[in-house]
Structure 1
């Protein structure tokens, strides 16, 4: 067996690694974005508020399929919703995490927000 010697990890690293629940939350967010349809829905909702029917039409998907993806994204904290009569409207949560993921998506895809392109 090779001796790698004593390695000094940065202070606090072991304590942070012991907080496995924090890493579980991060893994769940990335799991949500592991489905390209969810990424597309999330990206749309970073730019506007929409109901299931409008998203279904835009995504060319059934309403139950869109609802399934919305439920997952909302549970992970990436989306918020509001009810207006019988309709539920969704949009990206106004959190640092959602904003960062939005930026990451646009950086990876090398696209700009629709509002920025019009300016």
Structure 2
């Protein structure tokens, strides 16, 4: 049992054992750091719904290809997106991970939008 500096009448017998390591929190901090840029969030959200090349992503988000490439590199480093090469083209999409799926849902819930594939009746319920 851990004794805390202020005694408020609570006991924390197992609490210190349940607190994750600082490294675990760093993973979350790094993920949120990546999501601190609205353009990166838009690109990630888009890639949750399609697989596209840099040129098409650039057109969809109205950004230059070099800027999109920079954001894609950052998203790929954190494992939120994956890529595949087909001939000369490289296609990007959201990774099939728990973290990517949770982030996708969080984005949509925070800004109260629906996936493009959602039914019209679902969108009316906003």
TM-score range, shorter chain: 0.7 to 0.9
1:8 positional shift? 3.1
Residue segments in structure 2 that go unaligned for 5+ positions in a row: 122-126
* TM-score normalised by the chain length of structure 2: 0.83
What does 1:1-119 align with in structure 2 at a 5 Å threshold? 4-5=6-7, 7-9=10-12, 11=14, 13-15=15-17, 17=19, 19-117=21-119
Deviations 1:54-99 (A, max 9, x none): 0111111111100000000010010011011111110000111111
Give the whole-Å Cα distance in 1 for the aligned partners of 2:120 and 2:96: 22
Give the whole-Å Cα distance in 2 for the aligned partners of 1:44 and 1:30: 18
Give the whole-Å Cα distance in 1 for the aligned partners of 2:68 and 2:56: 10
Larger Rg computed on CA atoms? 2
Residue segments in structure 1 that go unaligned for 5+ positions in a row: none
Select the structure with the greater relative contact order (CA < 8 A; seq sep ≥ 6). Answer: 1
**What root-mean-square deviation, in Å, do the aligned CA atoms of Structure 1 and Structure 2 show?**
1.9
Change in CA separation of 1:9 and 1:86 when aligned onto 2, cut-off 3 Å: farther
